[in-house]
Chain A
Amino acid sequence: MERTGRLGTLKGNRLEGIALTTPGTLDEQDRVPFPSKKSQDPTAPAPKNLDPKPIRDRMMDRMRKVDPKQSERYRQRTGE
Chain B
Amino acid sequence: MEPQRRRDPCNFGTGDILCGIETEFGIIRKDLEISDPVLESMELVRAYRETSFGIWAYDEEDPRADARGGRAERLAQDEEEEAFLQTDIRRGFSFRESKSDRILKNGARFYNDHTHPEYSTPECLTLRDMILFDRAGTEILREAVRLREAVVGQPGVLGLYRNNTDFHGHSYGCHENYLLPREMSFSEIVRGITPFLVARIILTGAGKVGQEGEDGIRSDGYQLSQRADFMETLTGVDTMQRRPLVNSRDEPHADRERYRRLHLICGDANMSEWQTAMKMGMTRLVLASLFVHPGKVPDLADPVAAIRSISRSRKGDVAVACEDGRMMTADGILSLYRERVDVVVRSEEDRWVVEEWDRALSDYRADSDRLGDRVDWVAKESLLGWACQEQRVVPGDPWLQSLDLAYHDIDPGEGLFWPLEEEGSMRRLTRPEDVRDACEHPPALGRAPIRSAILSRFGGEVREAGWERIAFSGGVTFDLPPYLETDAGKVRRLLDRIAGMDDPAHLEAIIREMNKEGGFDGANR
- The interface residues of chain B lying within 8 Å CB-to-CB of A56 are 386
Contacts of B446-462 to chain A: CB distance below 8 A: none
**Interface pair A79/B403, CB less than 8 Å apart:** no
Per-residue B-contact encoding for A40-80, CB less than 8 Å = 1, 0 else:
10110011011000111011101111111111111111111
Q: Report chain A residues within 8 Å CB of B359.
A: 37, 39-40
B312 to chain A: closest CB distance in Å?
19
- 14 additional A-B pairs beyond A47-B372, A50-B425, A68-B398, beta carbons within 8 Å, are A19-B348, A23-B433, A30-B348, A36-B356, A49-B425, A55-B419, A63-B383, A66-B416, A70-B402, A74-B28, A75-B34, A76-B28, A76-B37, A80-B24
Taking the closest CB of chain B, its distance from the CB of A63, in whole angstroms, is 5
The 8 A CB mask of B92-124 against A (1 = contact, 0 = none) is 000000000000000000000111100000000
Cα A42 to Cα B367 in complex, Å, equals 9
Q: Does B240 lie within 8 Å of A80, measured CB to CB?
A: yes
Interface pair A34/B429, CB less than 8 Å apart: yes
Bound together, the chains give a CA A65 to CA B413 distance in angstroms of: 11
> Are B423 and A58 in contact (CB-based, < 8 A)?
yes
Can you list 22 residue pairs at the A/B interface with Cβ under 8 Å?
A30-B128, A30-B349, A33-B127, A33-B348, A37-B359, A40-B366, A42-B363, A47-B373, A66-B406, A68-B397, A70-B402, A74-B167, A75-B168, A76-B28, A76-B37, A76-B115, A77-B84, A78-B77, A78-B172, A79-B172, A80-B114, A80-B239
Determine if A7 is an interface residue (Cβ-Cβ < 8 Å). no
User: Inside 8 A of A29's CB, which chain B residues have their CB?
Assistant: 128, 434
**What residues of chain B lie closer than 8 Å to A69, measured between beta carbons?**
398, 402
Report if A8 contacts B (CB, 8 A): no
Q: Which residue of A lies closest to B28 (CB)?
A: A74
From B33, B173, B372, B398, give the contact of A71 (CB < 8 A).
B398
Distance, CA A54 to CA B398, complexed state (A): 26
Tell which of A26, A49, A65 has the most Cβ of chain B within 10 Å. A49
A49:B416 contact, CB within 8 angstroms: no
Contact: A77 with B367, CB < 8 Å?
A: no
Q: Which B-chain residue is minimally distant from A67 (CB atoms)?
A: B402
Q: Which residues of B contact A73 (CB under 8 A)?
A: 28, 33
Once the chains bind, are A35 and B427 in contact (CB under 8 Å)? yes
Interface size class of A (residues with CB under 8 A): 35 or more
Residues of chain A with a CB closer than 8 A to B26's CB: 74, 76
- Given the complex, which residues of A lie within 8 Å of B434, measured CB to CB? 21, 29
Interface: B44 (CB within 8 A) = no
Instruction: Identify which of B35, B84, B386 contacts A60 (C-beta below 8 A).
Output: B386
Residues in A lying within 8 Å of B, measured CB to CB = 19, 21, 23, 26-27, 29-37, 39-40, 42-43, 46-47, 49-50, 54-56, 58-60, 62-80
Pairwise interchain contact B398-A34, C-beta atoms closer than 8 A: no
A68 in contact with B399 (CB, 8 Å)? yes
A63 to B419, CA, bound (A): 11
Contacts of A75 in B (CB 8 A): 34-35, 166, 168, 170
Contact of B116 among A26, A37, A72, A79 (CB under 8 A): A79
Q: How far is the CB of B83 from chain A (nearest CB, A)?
A: 10
Contact B425 A74 (CB under 8 A): no
Q: How many residues on the B side are at the interface (Cβ–Cβ under 8 A)?
A: 81
A-B contact count (CB 8 A): 178
Collect the chain B residues with CB atoms within 8 Å of residue A49's CB. Answer: 372-373, 379, 382, 425-426
What DSSP secondary structure best describes chain A's contact surface?
loop
* Complex CA distance for A63 and B365, rounded to whole angstroms: 30
In the bound assembly, the distance between CA atoms of A68 and B359 in angstroms comes to 37
Of A33, A55, A80, which one neighbours B172 at CB under 8 angstroms?
A80
Q: In whole angstroms, how far apart are the Cα atoms of A34 and B356 in the complex? A: 10
Query: Contacts A34-B128, A62-B419, A80-B173 given: A72-B265 contact, CB under 8 Å?
Result: no
B404 within 8 A of A: yes
Chain B interface (Cβ < 8 Å from any Cβ of A): 24, 26-28, 33-35, 37, 77, 80, 84, 113-116, 126-128, 131, 161, 166-168, 170-173, 175, 239-241, 243, 265, 277, 348-349, 352, 355-356, 358-359, 362-363, 365-367, 369-370, 372-373, 379, 382-383, 386-387, 390-391, 397-399, 401-406, 414, 416, 419-420, 423, 425-427, 429-431, 433-434, 444, 488
Chain A residues with Cβ below 8 Å from B363 are 40, 42
Shortest A51–chain B CB gap in Å is: 9
A-side contacts of B170, CB under 8 Å: 75-79
- The answer to whether A50 and B171 have CB atoms under 8 Å apart is no
Taking a contact as CB atoms under 8 Å apart, the answer to whether A36 and B355 are in contact is yes
Q: Name the residue on B nearest A21 (C-beta).
A: B431
Q: Is the CB of A71 within 8 A of B402?
A: yes
CB-contact partner of A79 in B113, B352, B401, B406, under 8 A: B113
B420–A59 CB distance below 8 A: yes
Q: Is the CB of B386 within 8 A of A33?
A: no
- Residues of chain B within 8 A (CB-CB) of A40 are 359, 362-363, 366, 370
**Contact in complex: B167, A78 (CB < 8 Å):** no
B365 touches A42 (CB 8 A): yes
Selected from A33, A36, A65, A71, the residue in CB contact (under 8 A) with B401 is A71
On whether the beta carbons of B387 and A63 are closer than 8 Å, the reply is yes
- B79 smallest CB distance to A (angstroms): 12
**Given A73-B33, A79-B115, A60 contacting B405 (CB threshold 8 A):** no
Rounded to whole angstroms, the CA-CA distance of A31 and B386 in the bound complex is 40
* Contact status A26-B370, CB under 8 Å: no
Contact across chains for A59 and B348 when beta carbons are under 8 A apart: no
A27: chain B residues at CB < 8 Å are: 488
